[in-house]
Amino acid sequence: MLTHVGIIMDGNGRWARSRGLPRIDGHKAAEESIHEAVEYCGEIGIKYLTLFAFSTENWKRPKAEVSFIMFLLSRFIKRNIENLDRKDVKIRAAGRLDDLPSKPRADLDAAIARTESNQGLNLILALSYGGRAEIVDAVKRLTADIETGSKSAMDITEESITSYMYLPDVPDPDLIIRTSGEKRLSNFLLWESVYSELYFADTLWPDFRRKHLQEAFADYGARRRRFGDIGGN
């Protein structure tokens, strides 16, 4: 079963540099790959697609690059919202959204509100997202509930901690894909990825197409997930 796919969309800068272009051209070119991933996942009935678009650490980048990525977020929504809504895609977001500049934040909120009752693919944009930040934010809210007495320390279980994560209804990712040849999680979905299958593709994100996704899904299909059990052997 492939219910939830996460993608660490990496390699935009290198894609641009290898063509003698500024890094931001790589971020621009990423739109087509996002478009294709959303279309394909929707077509084959994947329920959740989480795209790691901007990490809590990415704020360290030069101001101009950060501003451009934020502009592209607004532009992506503006250009695609009509089509996504028509395709029954439900747009959601995970991360420290309060850190986003007001324009992309407002565009994101509007897209989320517009597609709220859609029943198709859940397209989750991980923005200003960090796995540790998510855990910190969950612990803060949990502690606040303990302080007001609505929760007791005795009630803390894995399930109750999960209920404080950004999107508690979303099942853990079955498969996490990272493009560009880097083999690390870079703070993506720490709590949720404990039993995710990991797939690393050398292709840079702007070159990542439907056929690469098909390869990743075929690879996933041949794996045996045991979750610590003996897996029928």
**List of residues contacting Mg ion (CB under 5 A):** 10
The verdict on whether 58 is a catalytic residue reads yes
Q: Is position 74 an interface residue for ligand IPE (rule: CB under 6 A)?
A: no
Q: Which is nearer to ligand IPE, 135 or 161 (CB)?
A: 135
Q: How many CB atoms lie within 10 A of CB 115?
A: 20
Rounded-to-integer distance, Cα 17 and Cα 153, Å = 51
Rounded-to-integer distance, Cα 16 and Cα 8, Å = 18
Q: Is position 95 an interface residue for ligand IPE (rule: CB under 6 A)?
A: no
Q: SS3 of 161, please?
A: helix
Q: How many CB atoms lie within 10 A of CB 176?
A: 23
Task: Report the site for ligand IPE in 153-192 (rule: CB under 6 A).
Answer: 180, 182, 184, 186
Which residue is catalytic, options 10, 25, 107, 174? 10
107 binds, among Mg ion, ligand IPE, none (CB under 5 to 8 A by kind): none
Q: Which is nearer to ligand IPE, 14 or 114 (CB)?
A: 14
Q: Is position 69 an interface residue for ligand IPE (rule: CB under 6 A)?
A: yes
Nearest to residue 15, comparing CAs of 28, 5, 6, 2? Answer: 28
CB of 54 to ligand IPE, least distance (A): 5
Q: Is position 8 an interface residue for ligand IPE (rule: CB under 6 A)?
A: yes
Rounded-to-integer distance, Cα 56 and Cα 72, Å = 17
**CA distances in angstroms from 208 to 8, 109, 134, 214, listed in the order given:** 12, 28, 28, 11
The verdict on whether 10 is a catalytic residue reads yes
CB of 186 to ligand IPE, least distance (A): 4
Contacts of 112 (CB under 8 A, 6+ apart): 91, 92, 93
Q: Which is nearer to Mg ion, 30 or 123 (CB)?
A: 30
Among positions 4, 6, 10, 94, the unique one binding ligand IPE when judged by CB under 6 A: 10
Could you tell me whether strands 197-200 and 48-55 are parallel, antiparallel, or unpaired per DSSP bridges? unpaired
Active site residues: 10, 58
Residues that bind ligand IPE (CB under 6 A): 8-14, 52-55, 58, 69, 180, 182, 184, 186
